[in-house]
Structure 1
Amino acid sequence: MTGTDVTVLGLGAMGRALAAALLRAGRTVTVWNRTPEKADTLTNSGAHPAESVSSAVRASPLVLVCVLDDETVHELIEPVAGDLRGRTLVNLTTTTPEQARAMARWSGVARVEYVDGGIMAVPDMIGGGDTFVLYSGAAEAFDRNRPVLELFGRAVFVGDDAGAAAMYDLALLGAMYAMFAGFEQGAAMVRGAGGTAGELAAMAAPFLRAMTGSFAEFAVGIDTPARYEPVQSAEFTAAAIDTIARAGAEAGVPTALPTAVRAVLAGPIDAACP
């Protein structure tokens, strides 16, 4: 196979978006997917399809893997350890921090430079101005390949600990899913009173954008609690959440979400109660 700049293993929606961004930037790209047909549109745009993971890995000095889960990464990568030796492996699959660290240890034994990544975007956002991707692990390999990695979005290196990118990735995703769950809970309450989720969305977007400005102040309370004086007391927060839960119950909406939120934000208050 002709040598290429980058190999992309895994052509789900995100993998295809990554490969397409590379091609748009004029990079030569080798692609592989368990279902070969998913490479067709990329091949028509100039990508080189590989018949096997082994040949795909041998084609490029930089190998990106973006698949379903950590188990799939190991299934693909471990059998081609010899082919990967001396190359840089960037794993953009969503994994836990410990899974990322385990992959880094395996890579060290296999003499592979390992960089872990967390993509903070959906496929349509790849290459856009608001997109950023978190990276951690082999700093020298990251620096050397940064011009390529920047093609996906702003490349943010968060440390030599290979698990750091996954940690921040999942922390951010956790906040996002909690927000979406809260919106869905609120929409159910609004619809029960004759409103619509669309009306709520129009109100929620600017309100939540404004509230994110409080993150920096809230972070001070988490990092240095002894020196922090909150604007809103934990007692007030607990009472507000209790009222939300009561309104949900009145509307026939499950209250598991506000109960969980209260446990996180008002746990110390509950613990202090006799």
Structure 2
Amino acid sequence: MDWKSEIEAARGRLRGRVRETPVLRATGLWEGGAVELKLEQMQHTGSFKARGAMNTVLSRDVPAAGLVAASGGNHGAAVAWAAREAGYPARIFVPEMAGPAKIALIRALGADLVVVPGAYANALEAAQQHEAETGAMQIHAYDAEATVAGQGTCMAEWEAQGLQADTVLIAVGGGGLVAGALAWLGAARRVVAVEPRTCAALHAARAAGRPVDVEVSGLAANALGARRAGEIAFDLARRHDVTPVLVEDADIAAAQARLWRELRQLVEPAGAAALAALTSGAYRPEPGERVAVLVCGGNIAPDPLG
């Protein structure tokens, strides 16, 4: 797989369709000094997921039955947005744990929404059944080449904006975003994957030597709560010897609060998880190591202005 070419092609498709999200250099977020942040929570629908969803829609033939996706919330909103922008019907299956804010966002984007009891895996099973019955095109949240290539455009964009870091910290759910980063960067920079201790699918996969099912719970479960890491993410993580560092829910909440107090950036727990690795000491850079953090999502629940 020539990932560089795939991501470059995705950049061309997405030009003018997704936002070039801002980058800032901040001090006061952690004791080690400055850190560079990419504010991907300012992307369409409030997360990086819009990139992978739109890249998939633009790179494949969509059937008359339209699109179908399973999601903890952010991916569903991204698929609903991409479907609306491209003029296709979409049915989105979400678990109850998605929460009212993300459910309301998907509905507002015009998709046919089905709330499924249980977790993300249950929503995925329902989406796969709908795909088999109707012929709708499934857009996988993280384990599909077009999704990963779309997410990879985030890192390609960041480098074009002048990224100076030696190391980039990225939160992991199923692994689409970190896979895209690894696919683009290769060995050029260090990628540190960050998972909540209670949603550690990629960490478990690295320990087992293959993706395995895990139990998921906790503060960021509705965004990072994939029960099993994607094969693409696992393959790239193994190739580049990436084993996620784990953070506690309390540390995620503290990083979330710090982003608000210091920068007035209101993000969901998943969006603060990568920063939590720095602020908690779960990841300790070497002296002189330049560090960057990808802030991946802003769909906080409940909606503070809702």
Larger relative contact order (C-alpha < 8 A, sep ≥ 6)? 2
- Give me the TM-score of the superposition, normalised by structure 2: 0.27
Question: What TM-score do the two structures reach when normalised by structure 1?
Answer: 0.29
Query: Which has a greater percent of helix?
Result: 1
